[in-house]
Structure 1
Amino acid sequence: MSFSQLPLVIQTSYAELLDQLRIAAISEFPTGSTFRKRKISGRDYWYVQEPTGPTGRPPERYIGADTPERRSLIETAQRAKVDADARRAIRRSLTGAGLPEPDSLTGSIIEALEEAGTFRLRGVIVGTIAFQTYSGLLGVRLPGAAIRTGDLDLAQDYGVSVSLDDALDTSLLDILQSVDPGFRPVPGITNPNIAATYARPGGYRVDVVTTNRGADRDDPVRLPSLKSDAVPLRYLDFLLKDTVEAAVLTRFGALVNVPSPERYAAHKLIVSVLRRAAGPSAIKSDKDIVQASLLMEALIMQRREDELAAALSEAADRGASWRQHLISASANLSDHLREFVLSIVHENDGSAAH
């Protein structure tokens, strides 16, 4: 499970691609669009109003929370159009340097989701496709065995979905079928009219998940902004609490949201224990440990161990079951990573006792 740091020129190229994708996401709105802030629950958020067309005035589109970076981005995007060919050239240099790229089907799906506004609406890619992006975000070359997958996991916080005053123009299923008409909803067990998974011939799946902070439940819930049902999962609110923008190396690059790498690592430790207890998911549990270990090593190598420690500390502070999951998972880590995790867990044990 060895990996190496990427050359500085490659890290710089990845940062440049990310910046260009951010500008493109704003500049692609038509000329005459106006941007304004709304205050929701005490926080400011940016929306864009496209000009009135032949069919009337379109609905406002959600852009994101108000930050100095986003204000600067909006000002820059209104002055410049970004060349897609330039992004493709950067993408080629990155894949040539060994950064992971998705298979063609996954790349086409991600591009379709991005174009439809899925990530603008705070949809988040989780799972191995998200893990692939950490190579560029952390500036390391990750081993190929840890980044192979045959499906796509899409998440959105339930509270976000119901509070956004914006939604996809078409259903998630329609977006997937625009890429491959063979996609079909997989009916739920209790209600055949509800589906949180979409599959195509050959076994490729797109699973939609969301947060669950109440009692455990198996039935999917509706995500109005993504126009899809989703399976509520415990522990997912921790994973989605802090997301970051990342570039997926599709044809021209795609701007997506992924969990922060430190939260991804902590979450993988926890779910590895849950999967191992489930029996049939033991193979996935091993992959969880591999990915968590690699991210922890990368974060420490890049001197971001404070961020990793903060994520682990927050997880440990959420209760005795969380701490026990971290302790159990640490038994499968290398000696120095196990000591790192246990020192944080025991520190939280002490604070809880007081």
Structure 2
Amino acid sequence: MAIQELPLVIQTSYAELIDQLRLAAASDFPEGSTFRKRSISGKDYWYVQEPTTPQGRPPERYLGADTPERQTAIKSAMNAKAHADTRKAIRRSLSGAGLPEPDGLTGAVIEAFAEAGVFRLRGVIVGTIAFQTYSGLLGVKLPNAAIRTGDVDLAQDYGVSVALNDALGVSLIDVLKSVDPDFAPIPSLAGPNIATTYARPGGYRVDVLTTNRGADRDAPVNLPSLRSDALPLRSLDFLLRDTVEAAILTRFGALVNVPSPERYAVHKLIVSTTRKDTGESAVKSDKDIIQAGLLVEALVAKRRQDDLIAALNEAAARGPAWQERLSQGAARLGNESREIIQTLLEANN
């Protein structure tokens, strides 16, 4: 299908919403807060120290990697606070223009995560909720059939979780219970007190995922910064590298971390080949291919084929197994997106 671009005014509004959310995230501190930049393993990261209260001096909090956008937001936070009603007006205009927005429960879960600090602690929204954000990020229209979902997938790199030395104020299940008290952990086979999935009546699920770089394993691991167990997945480290910030159209908009669209597309090609070919798994595999194909076409339409080539090459460099899965996934794409992948790979060899 031909990719249709969003009007420039809508693309501009989406970028403005992200800017407003960055301002709000950086300015949501008491007067007198101080910001510090630290260098860790050759990269710079920002932290904030809030002023002493009658209850004592709060611990220093991690804000995120040093970027020009975060520097601008921090400077602005020292002078002014973004207005929620302005964000709400922008969000309303984007929704009216047809940009995807979550259902009410998902929106409430995302906002609760944002308020609790999940995304500040480098939690990443993956799956279809992340895919919904690519319409605004890429400035294109995406068909509704590819963006429907009833679950939230939250991921965090295991190494990041251990290294942050910062954590949520309450457990992840307590954050979810603040949205709906009926949320409950689903015990895993590893033990009655270990859960990587939280659900509420009706089947709505929140799955927590993490990276697995060692031997294949099914046993959950604990993410100390998110105060939750998580299911380790083999290829997730590829997806979580170099994430980007995006806006989800909740009531006032929420700033989240999502995989880059090129990594999402390549990862979906690979994941589609690991699912069973029957039942719900087959349906998910078909959805993987649809989403990958749409992103491939969108990235080329927006002249971002170099980003796509880099992601493809990185995946292929992981060895014959990944190369075979890429080939199998690409073979299932529609004619246009399949030809794009083949052309890009041939031109780069």
Q: Check whether the contact 2:49–2:61 (CA below 8 A) recurs between aligned residues.
A: yes
Q: TM-score normalised to the size of structure 1?
A: 0.95
Displacement of 1:96: 0.2
Q: Which residue of 1 aligns with 2:140?
A: 140
Deviation of 1:104 after TM superposition, in Å, equals 0.2
> Residue 9 of structure 1 aligns to which amino acid in structure 2?
V
Q: Secondary structure at the match of 2:194?
A: coil
Classify the secondary structure of the residue corresponding to 1:194.
strand
Q: What amino acid is the match of 2:87?
A: R
In the alignment, the residues of structure 1 paired with residue 306 and residue 20 of structure 2 have an alpha-carbon distance, to the nearest angstrom, of: 29
Deviation at 1:4, TM superposition (A): 1.5
Contact 2:196 2:231 in 1 (8 A): yes
* In structure 2, C-alpha distance between the alignment counterparts of 1:192 and 1:236, rounded to whole Å: 26
* Contact 2:3–2:141 (Cα < 8 Å) also in 1: yes
3-state DSSP class of the match of 1:193? Answer: strand
CA distance in 2, matches of 1:279, 1:229: 28
Kindly indicate whether the alpha-carbon contact (under 8 Å) linking 1:326 and 1:341 is maintained by their aligned counterparts in 2.
Answer: no
- The alpha-carbon distance between structure 1 residues 238 and 57, as it changes in their structure 2 partners (threshold 3 A), is same
Query: Which residue does 1:66 correspond to in 2?
Result: 66
Determine if contact 1:109/1:176 at 8 Å carries over to the other structure.
yes
AA aligned opposite 1:48: V
Q: How many angstroms does 1:44 deviate by?
A: 2.2
Residue deviations 1:127-146, cap 9 Å, x none? 00000000000001110000
Whether contact under 8 Å (1:100, 1:133) holds in the other structure is yes
Partner of 1:128: 128
Deviation at 1:77, TM superposition (A): 1.9
The 3-state SS of whatever aligns with 1:59 is coil
Query: Cα–Cα, structure 1 residues 344 and 304, in superposed 2: closer, same or farther, change >3 Å?
Result: closer
Deviates more, 1:40-49 or 1:272-281: 272-281
My pick for the range that moved more, 130-139 or 43-52, is 43-52
Q: 2:138 & 2:276 partners in 1: Cα distance?
A: 28
Alignment of 1:81-100 (within 5 A): 81-100=81-100
CA drift at 1:338 = 2.0
Of residues 265-274 and 60-69 in structure 1, the stretch that sits farther from structure 2 once superposed is 60-69
Render the CA deviation track for 1:188-220: whole Å, top value 9, x for unaligned.
013121000000000000000000011000010
CA-CA distance at 1:183 after TM superposition: 0.4
Counterpart position of 1:210: 210
* Structure 1 counterpart of 2:323: 323
1:150-196, CA deviations, whole angstroms, 9 ceiling, x for partnerless residues? Answer: 00000000000000021100000000000000000000013121000
Supply the distance in 1 between the matched residues of 2:158 and 2:345 (Cα, whole angstroms). Answer: 29
Does the 8 Å contact 1:2/1:143 carry over to 2? Answer: no
Q: Secondary structure at the match of 1:152?
A: strand
* Counterpart position of 1:337: 337
SS of the residue corresponding to residue 195 of structure 1 reads strand
Partners of 1:185 and 1:113 in 2: how far apart?
Answer: 16
Could you report, residue by residue, the CA deviation over 1:53-108 in whole angstroms, capped at 9, with x for unpaired residues?
Answer: 11101111101122333222211221121110010000000000000100000000
Post-superposition offset of 1:254: 0.2
Structure 2 unmatched ranges of 5 or more = none
Local SS of the residue matching 2:192? coil
Query: Which residue in 2 is equivalent to 1:117?
Result: 117
2:195 paired with 1:195: yes
Superposed CA deviations along residues 225-279 of structure 1, whole A, max 9, x for unmatched, are: 0000000001100000010000000000000000000000000000001114687
Match of 2:288 in 1: 288
Tell me the residue number matched to 1:224.
224
Deviation at 1:330, TM superposition (A): 1.3
Whether contact under 8 Å (2:309, 2:345) holds in the other structure is no
Query: Partner of 1:260 in structure 2?
Result: 260
State the match for 2:37 in structure 1.
Answer: 37
- 2:233 corresponds to: 233
The answer to whether the 8 A contact 1:269-1:325 is kept is yes
Query: Which residue does the alignment assign to 1:313?
Result: 313
1:41 CA displacement? 2.5
Equivalent position of 2:75 in the other structure? 75
Q: Distance in 1 between matches of 2:190 and 2:93?
A: 48
Aligned partners of 2:131 and 2:147 also within 8 Å: yes
Q: 2:75, 2:115 → 1: CA distance? A: 21
CA gap of 1:319–1:270, structure 2 versus 1, over 3 A, is same
d(CA) in 2 for partners of 1:198 and 1:321?
33
Q: Is the 8 A contact 2:3 2:301 kept in 1?
A: no
Give the corresponding residue for 2:270. 270
Which stretch has the larger CA shift, 235-244 or 59-68? Answer: 59-68
Letter aligned with residue 217 of structure 2: R
2-structure distance, mates of 1:227, 1:101: 28
Contact 1:223 1:230 in 2 (8 A): yes
More divergent stretch after superposition (210-219 vs 339-348): 339-348
Which SS does the other structure have where 2:195 is aligned? coil
**Alignment check: 8 A CA contact 1:312 1:344 kept:** no
Q: What are the superposed Cα offsets for residues 316-348 of structure 1, whole Å, 9 maximum, x if unpaired?
A: 111100100010111111234223333555678
In the other structure, the counterpart of 1:158 is 158
Q: Distance in 1 between matches of 2:129 and 2:184?
A: 21
- State how far apart, in whole Å, the 1-side matches of 2:242 and 2:278 are: 28
